[in-house]
Amino acid sequence: MVEPGTILCVSEPFAHVLSNKEHDYRCENCMKRADELKRCSACASVKYCSTKCQKSDWSIHKKECPCLKRFQPKIPTDSTRLLLRLVIRFNDSSTVQESKGVLALRRSFNYLMSHEKEITNDKNRCDQLSQHLFTLQKVTAGVLDLPSSRDLLQIFGKMTTNSFTICGEEMQPIGVGIYLGPSLLDHRCTPNAVITFQGKSLHLRAVAQIADPTPSNVFISYIDQLNSTAERRRMLMEQYYFKCDCSWCQDKDLEISMHAIKCPDKACVEGFISVTDDGAMLTSCFVCGQSVSDHKFIQTALGLEEECRGCLEEAKRAKQLNDPERILNMCESCLNQNKDILHPLNLSCVQILDCLLDASVDLQLWDKALMYGSETLPAYRKYYPPNSPNLGIQLLKLGKIHLYLHNLKEALKLLQQARDILLVTHGRDHVLYSQLLELLYQTQEEMRTELEFDS
C-alpha cells in the first residue's frame, strides 16, 4: 500500500529536446532556467547552463550538431529534432533503462509499441512522417546515415505514441521526451498517479491510495481532463489509437453537466438542461425538474456552444501570434453573448474563461484576471480529480493575484488549498512548492503586520 504523495519512480529521458521557444531561457540538457547560457559554438542552435551539462549532452549532440549547422539559420521543429535524436540513438535501442523508486519500471526502446499498421492507415500521420523525413534527409545528407524506411516508420510510431510533454514549473510545456519505463503505464481519465518534472527528470507520484503499486495498477492521464467524453476519446484515438471506457467516460451525469444550458426559470439559479455530444438530450432541469419544450431555446444554446468552439480556435491562433489583447476582446465578446444561456459548468464557457484569465494576466489586468479565474473554480473542482496538479496550480495563480491585490484572507485560503494539493502532486523538494511556501509566509506576515497596526 502506498499513500497519496508517495514518489513511485523517478526517470530520466532516453531522448529529449527543449522546445524552440525556450532556447533563450533554459538549458538544452537539464532544461532548467538559467540567467546565463552558453551557446554551442559550432551549430549556434543550442545553449547550456554549464560545461557539465554540455558534456552530458555531447554523446548525442556531437552527431546532431553538424546536422543542425546545415539547417541554419532555420531550426527544425521540436518533433523533427526528437526524431533526429532517436535516429542517433538507434543503436542503443536494446539498452534497458530502469526507473528509480518503489515502482519497478524496466524497458528498452525496442519494446515500445510502434502502431505501424494504424500509422500506415492514418493520412495525417503519414503526412507528418513525410515532412519529418524530408527535413531529416536534408540535414543528414553526407553527415549521418539514416536507418531503413521500415526502421524509420517504427521509430516515428514509437515517438508519436510514447512521448511525454515535459512541463515547467507551472505545468507549461517546455519540451518533449521519451521515458522508457513510464511509457508502460496505462491511461485513465481519473488517474491514481500524476507526472511532474524537475528539469528533465520525470517524477511519478501517487495521488490516491494504491494497494498494489505494480505497473498494471498505476494509471496516469495522457490528456487534459477538461474536455468532454467525446473530445477526450477523439484525442486518445487520434494520438494513441485506443478508446477509453474508464468510469469517468461512462459517467453520464458528468457528461450532462459539461454541456449544461441554464434553466430558463430565472429563479432556478443552479439548474440546467443539457444536450451531450452523442445527441442525448436532458430537457428537464437537473435541479428543479421543470420540463423545457422550447426547442428554439435549445438550438440557440447549441449554436452558442459552437460559437465558443470557434472563438477558442481563434484564440489559439492569436496566442501563437502573442496577441493577448485580441484574445481578451474576442473572448469577452463571446462570453457576453452566452452568459445568459450557457451554464457556468459548461465546458465551452470554462475554456473561454481560462483564455480570459491568461490574457488578463499577460496584460496585467489583475481585477479582470481574478474575476475570470474565480469563475473557473467550480468547474475545475468538478471536472478534475481531487489531487489534480491542474486544480492546484489554478488555486495558486488566483492566490497570487489576491495577494498582489492585498486581499489577504482570500489569498491565504486559496494558497493553503493549493499547498495541500501540490504537496501531494509535486512534493516538498519541487521549486513550485518552495515558491508556494514563500507566498504563504508573505501572506501571513502581511496579515500579522495589519493586525499589529490595527491594534
Sequence-distant (≥ 6) Cβ neighbours of residue 209 within 8 angstroms: 1, 2, 3, 4, 192
- Helix H or strand E encompassing 262: strand 260-262
Indicate the SS3 state at residue 436: helix
Query: What DSSP letter does each residue of 62-75 carry, written as one string?
Result: HHHHHHHHHHTTS-
pLDDT in tens, the chain (455 residues): 999 999 999 999 999 999 999 999 999 999 999 999 999 999 989 999 999 999 999 999 999 999 999 888 888 999 999 999 999 999 888 888 888 889 989 999 999 999 999 999 999 999 999 999 999 999 999 889 999 999 999 999 999 999 999 999 888 999 999 999 999 999 999 999 999 999 999 999 999 999 999 999 999 999 999 999 999 999 999 999 999 999 999 998 898 899 988 888 888 888 888 877 666 566 788 888 888 777 787 788 888 888 999 999 999 999 989 999 999 999 999 999 988 888 999 999 999 999 999 999 999 999 999 999 999 999 999 999 889 999 999 999 999 999 999 999 999 999 999 999 999 999 999 999 999 999 999 999 999 998 877 66
Q: For cell 559554438, what's the residue?
A: 41
How far apart are the C-alpha atoms of 103 and 213, rounded to whole Å? Answer: 6
Q: pTM for the complete prediction? A: 0.91
* Percent of the chain that is helix, strand, coil (3-state, to 5): 50, 15, 35
- The length of the chain in residues reads 455
Whether the ω angle into residue 73 lies within 30 degrees of 0, i.e. cis, is: yes
What SS3 state is found at 182? helix
What's the farthest any 2 CA atoms get from each other in the chain?
A: 79
Torsion sign (Cα): 334, 335, 339, 342: positive
